[in-house]
Structures are given as C-alpha cells and as structure tokens.
A and B are shown apart, each in its own frame.
Chain A
C-alpha cells in the first residue's frame, strides 16, 4: 500500500470514448502538467498497474474487456471514472449499444466530471485518491 501511495502506476482504458478524455488523460501525463512529481507514471500493462482510469461511455463489448482487465490487475487496485460518459453515459446515455455506467462493471473509487475534464482535474482526482489511500490504508 505504501508503494502505491508514493508511486502509483496508471493504466488508461478507453471504453468507448470520443477521444476527448483520452487526449486529456494523455496530456495530464506529460511534462506541462508533470504528474511525475506525485510519482504517477503510465503503465503499459494491467499487470503493472495500480490505478485504472476508465474513460468513455461503456459499450457492451468494452464492458467485458474492462472487467477482464480489472481482474488481471493485481490487488490493491483502484479505479477512476474520468469524464461525463464514464460516470453516467453523458450525451450518449440512452443509446442502444451502451452497457451502463462504469461503476456497474467495476467498483469506482473516484469520479472526475467534465466533458472532457481538464488535465488539472485528472491530476486532482489522482491526488484525492492517493490522500484517501494514505488516510484509510485503502479498501
């Protein structure tokens, strides 16, 4: 748990997003915003990841993959739902291919709202999560 608090590795999963959140998550991991000061690093693989950032309106095909990725990630693990679509479906809510919200497939720890959220908001979400891990020792 301590290791996660000091250097969380983040994996990003696009579950049917419009790319808006994805480029903002990508921008949030680059030097202009510099999340490495918090130890945050992009993990290439679910088996290396501590935090999964889910973006996008979860469609049925991606929902299955998200659950599989979540199962592959070693515990302790956390999920951040990033953007209006991952939280509630956003503009796509009510569309036929949508499974549901991200938190109906995996347990979500932090919600970052916005369409898309600014990179600062994404980093703030990660920071909030890390603070909570520090206080309670995680789930």
Chain B
C-alpha cells in the first residue's frame, strides 16, 4: 500500500501550540511520526545571560505561561542557593500554594483539551468554566491570573491576609467537588474509555529507558516525584501521596492527573490552614552572587524541571541551562504512535500534556549537529519581508 505523509500542525485545530507532527500512514495505520519544532523559539537562555539576576526571574517565568510559577521557583531557589539567602517559612508556604493552584489549573486544562480532541465539546466547556475558579483563586493570591510573578529573591511579593484565606478555603471546596465529578466522568463515560484506554501504551521498562518524567511516568507504574524525592519549598512539611497507576495508556495518564489535582487541593488547603507566622516579603533584594554553580530541581505539572545555573560572580548569570519535562516526553515518544490509527495521534499527543513553549528553547541547543537542525535553520534563514 502507498505510504502517505500527513503534516499535523503547526497550525491545526487539534493542537493549540505550534508544533509539527509529520505522520506517515499506510491506509489508516501510522507507520512513522517525526516531530518538527522551532516555531516557538525565543532564545530565552541567551536572554537570561544578558540580563541581571532579578530581571532573569521574570524571563524564566515567561518560559511557559501555564507553569510559570514553577519555572520561577526553580530559578529563584537556584539563585538563592548561590547567593546564600534562605526564604522565610511563610514565603515558602505561599510559594507552595501558588504552585499547587497552578498544578490544578494545568491538569484541568489538559483534561479540557483532551475532551475537545475526542469531540466531547460539552465537557471541554464545563471544564474550562470550572477552571476559571482556580484562575480566580490564583488572582486572589498573587494579583495576576496567569503570570503569578509572586516570587522574589529571598521571599515573596505579596502576603496573605485572613479575609483572603477564608475565601480560598471556601472556593477550594467547590473546586474539589468539581474535580471529583470530572474524574468520575472520565472513569465511567463509555466514549472516553473507548478513545483513551489501550491507546499509546508505554510499559514500565520502556518509560525508564526513554527517560519519561512526570504524570506520564507515574501512569506507567513508577512512583517518582521530585516533591517527595527531593523536597523543596514547603513540601518536606506537608503530607501528600504520590499518585500512580499501572496501565500506562492515555487513560491512565489522565486519571493520574485527576488524582494529582485532588492531592493538590489538599496540599493547598494545608498550606492555607497551617500558614506560619512571620515575615514573607524581603526587605532588601540581593544583587550579586559568589562564583559557583547550582542544579535546581522542581516537579512541574508535567514532570521534573531542571535548571543548571553557573555564576562567575557579578550581576548576570554566566550560563543558565533549562531542561523541561515536555522536551523528554514529546521527543522520546515518537515510537509510541506506531501501529495506532491516524485519529489516535492527537489523543496520544495530548495525553503527554505537551507544552511547546517549554520544549522549543532547548531544541536548538541540543540539536546543533543533527539533521533536523539543518531543516529548521534553513527555515530560519529564509527571512521573508511581508
């Protein structure tokens, strides 16, 4: 049979971000998928080198709009280690609260996107409606809906007062109920089960070999979570469970995310209830670091996020290397699509919770000698004046 190549993206109704999947099919069956990126490259690592430590905080937050507080946390905790600054416990709790709210809305967003991809538009609309409650909570805590920007070297920028604490607790109750309801929908709905279960299975050994991270790894039966393995912020003081499942298919990945969202609600509630007294906002902001290097790890909604920060002293970083979870999850799993039908490709792709904004920046650095770079560089060079 003739093999047909079908490009999916960079502008495609099933994908909300610019990435290109080149799918080669034989009839309906997928025989090869190659991922082509570069549509979202912004040169962030170079920008971080050019800007001061404090400005770098905002640039690192703008790596990704969905997991911005997590990126800021990774950068800030690394820089704090270099500067020898310790954030007060109250600041750590507020940071944790913001990061967990972000995890809830990120997991709800991917569930909504998945519902839209399988054609369940009502569920998409309902999930997006209830996600607004989490966005409201985030705005209540940080003052911003999307870019939290609450971190500051040595603390946070805004404190929590009693009135807002009560409001958060009452809203969290509603959010928890709604997440439980949607979890039930994903568990029991016949159409969702048909579309998701046994689709895109990653076995345990395969997941380890491909260095998959985050909920995608935990859905393959491996309990690995930076929050419990290498606690940061206030996670060492907060009780929580690491959710995992053994099936390894797209459905298991969604269920792990729902389980995690429920855990996040309880973590957020704990941080609000047990918020330590004391200052949270730093009085002075340190400007320079001693020479040295540091590796900083955080569990982003999509998996382990790693920053390697090198300083030679002075006001700017010498080098910041970012390794994001989506990079591993998207590029290492090209083989998983093979043997599935064409209609399953967006489902499998969405089940990794892809975040292209994170992936892009790493691409060019890692692929300097590869064939793919040649293609994207040629595209880059062909500047068109409009």
Q: Which residues of A contact B (CB under 8 A)?
A: 11-24, 26-27, 30-32, 44-46, 56-57, 59-65, 67, 69, 90-92, 94-99, 104-106, 115-116, 118
Q: Which residues of A contact B376 (CB under 8 A)?
A: 61
Partner of A18, one of B64, B128, B379, B380: B64
Residues B125-170 near A (CB distance < 8 A)? 125, 128-129, 131-132, 135, 145-147
Is B47 within 8 A of A23, CB to CB?
A: no
Is A19 within 8 A of B355, CB to CB?
A: yes
Size of B's binding interface in residues, CB under 8 A: 45
Shortest distance from the beta carbon of A43 to any chain B beta carbon, whole Å: 9
A92-B357 CB under 8 A given contacts A19-B65, A20-B147, A60-B380:
no
Partner of A62, one of B40, B59, B131, B145: B40
Is B18 within 8 A of A62, CB to CB?
A: yes
Against A, the Cβ 8 Å flags (1 = close, 0 = not) of B346-369 are 000000000111001000000000
Asked whether any CB of chain A lies closer than 8 Å to the CB of B13, the reply is yes
Excluding A20-B62, A62-B39, A92-B47, 16 further A-B contacts by CB distance (< 8 Å) are A13-B18, A16-B39, A18-B42, A18-B65, A22-B16, A27-B128, A27-B132, A27-B135, A30-B129, A30-B132, A45-B13, A63-B383, A63-B384, A92-B62, A96-B46, A97-B41
Is B17 within 8 A of A24, CB to CB?
A: no
Partner of B383, one of A69, A99, A116, A118: A99
Is B147 within 8 A of A97, CB to CB?
A: no
Closest chain A residue to B58 by CB distance? A91
Is B43 within 8 A of A97, CB to CB?
A: yes
Is A95 within 8 A of B46, CB to CB?
A: yes
Asked whether any CB of chain A lies closer than 8 Å to the CB of B370, the reply is no
A23-B66 CB under 8 A given contacts A32-B128, A32-B129:
yes
Q: Which 10 A-B residue pairs are closest in the complex by CB-CB distance?
A: A20-B65, A44-B13, A19-B65, A30-B128, A95-B43, A105-B386, A32-B132, A20-B146, A18-B65, A19-B357
Closest chain A residue to B382 by CB distance? A64
**Whole-angstrom distance between the alpha carbons of A4 and B318 in the complex?**
52
The A interface is mostly helix, strand or loop, or mixed, namely mixed
Is A59 within 8 A of B11, CB to CB?
A: no
Asked whether any CB of chain A lies closer than 8 Å to the CB of B316, the reply is no
Is A16 within 8 A of B145, CB to CB?
A: no
Asked whether any CB of chain A lies closer than 8 Å to the CB of B109, the reply is yes
Partner of B18, one of A14, A23, A91: A14
Is B146 within 8 A of A69, CB to CB?
A: no
Partner of A22, one of B17, B42, B58, B135: B17
Is B379 within 8 A of A64, CB to CB?
A: yes
Is B18 within 8 A of A16, CB to CB?
A: yes
Q: What would 5 A/B residue contacts be, using CB atoms closer than 8 Å?
A: A19-B66, A45-B13, A62-B10, A62-B18, A116-B146
A20-B68 CB under 8 A given contacts A95-B43, A97-B41, A105-B386:
yes
Is B43 within 8 A of A21, CB to CB?
A: no
**Whole-angstrom distance between the alpha carbons of A21 and B63 in the complex?**
12
Shortest distance from the beta carbon of A109 to any chain B beta carbon, whole Å: 15
Shortest distance from the beta carbon of A64 to any chain B beta carbon, whole Å: 5
Is B40 within 8 A of A59, CB to CB?
A: yes
Closest chain B residue to A42 by CB distance? B13
Interface-centre pick from A22, A61, A98 (highest chain B CB count, 10 A):
A61
A17-B386 CB under 8 A given contacts A26-B16, A69-B11, A97-B41:
no
